Chain A
Amino acid sequence: GESVGLHLPTLSVQEGDNSIINCAYSNSASDYFIWYKQESGKGPQFIIDIRSNMDKRQGQRVTVLLNKTVKHLSLQIAATQPGDSAVYFCAETTALLTGGGNKLTFGTGTQLKVEL
């Protein structure tokens, strides 16, 4: 049968603080991990990705950490701003043996609320 969806957890932070959003993944064969941001009423937008042979990658105000030992991924947002309020999803890609494409699977998201 179909799996039951999970309600999103919420992280509340003060404006200017750093935010840390966590994600657990399940497939040890996944070779890329990605973070997406989804604002209300819109589709998800790419933030940053990390390859499975790396453990850290930095972007503008964001850092992604990967711990393959425990299959854990985190997104750190520095100096959180009101515009960062959104739902954040991690995703993993697995190479497909046929067709040369990817399978992209999303994890359960986290609602980030920035308080003024």
Chain B
Amino acid sequence: NAGVTQTPKFQVLKTGQSMTLQCAQDMNHNSMYWYRQDPGMGLRLIYYSASEGTTDKGEVPNGYNVSRLNKREFSLRLESAAPSQTSVYFCASTRGRDRSNTEAFFGQGTRLTVV
């Protein structure tokens, strides 16, 4: 069982470069999320997708875009990377429709450095 798979695990970008972080889950979950976590700090929600075909902004959406490609995949794009976007990015998923099951499954994280 793969769970939530994120790629890449590590990435170094130059300021102004673009890249897409990929996330896929194989649990047939409805809701997917992208978070960023800065050193010594908590997780902040960037964007989320409650179900296939919908996306919404979280707490810190500026500088990011997302695509819910299908039920399995939810990608995060940085169009023009900035040093302030240096962080660890986590993708997560929850079953969603059955709110009695609240467990979120997280990917391993992507460590992004923007120089």
Q: What residues make up the interface of A, taking CB atoms closer than 8 Å to B? A: 1-3, 5-8, 31-32, 34, 36, 42-46, 49, 51, 89, 91, 93, 95-96, 98-109
> When the two chains form their complex, are residues A43 and B107 in contact, meaning their CB atoms are under 8 A apart?
yes
Chain B residues whose CB sits within 8 angstroms of the CB of A36 once the complex forms = 104
In the assembly, what is the distance between CA of A93 and CA of B98, in Å?
Answer: 12
> When the two chains form their complex, are residues A43 and B109 in contact, meaning their CB atoms are under 8 A apart?
yes
Closest to A45 in B: B106
In the assembly, what is the distance between CA of A8 and CA of B23, in Å?
Answer: 27
Closest to B29 in A: A101
In the assembly, what is the distance between CA of A109 and CA of B94, in Å?
Answer: 20
In the assembly, what is the distance between CA of A89 and CA of B109, in Å?
Answer: 17
In the assembly, what is the distance between CA of A116 and CA of B48, in Å?
Answer: 41
> When the two chains form their complex, are residues B44 and A5 in contact, meaning their CB atoms are under 8 A apart?
yes
Q: Count residues of B near A (Cβ-Cβ below 8 Å).
A: 37
The one of B53, B90, B103 that contacts A43, using a Cβ cutoff of 8 Å:
B90
Q: 7 shortest A-B CB distances, which residue pairs?
A: A101-B50, A43-B106, A99-B51, A99-B50, A101-B96, A101-B31, A5-B41
> When the two chains form their complex, are residues B102 and A106 in contact, meaning their CB atoms are under 8 A apart?
no
Whole-angstrom distance from the CB of B32 to the nearest CB of chain A? 9
> When the two chains form their complex, are residues A109 and B102 in contact, meaning their CB atoms are under 8 A apart?
no
Closest to B3 in A: A43
B74 at the A interface (CB under 8 A): no
The one of B41, B99, B104 that contacts A31, using a Cβ cutoff of 8 Å:
B99
Given A31-B99, A101-B30, residue A106 in contact with residue B107 (CB < 8 A): no
> When the two chains form their complex, are residues B60 and A93 in contact, meaning their CB atoms are under 8 A apart?
no
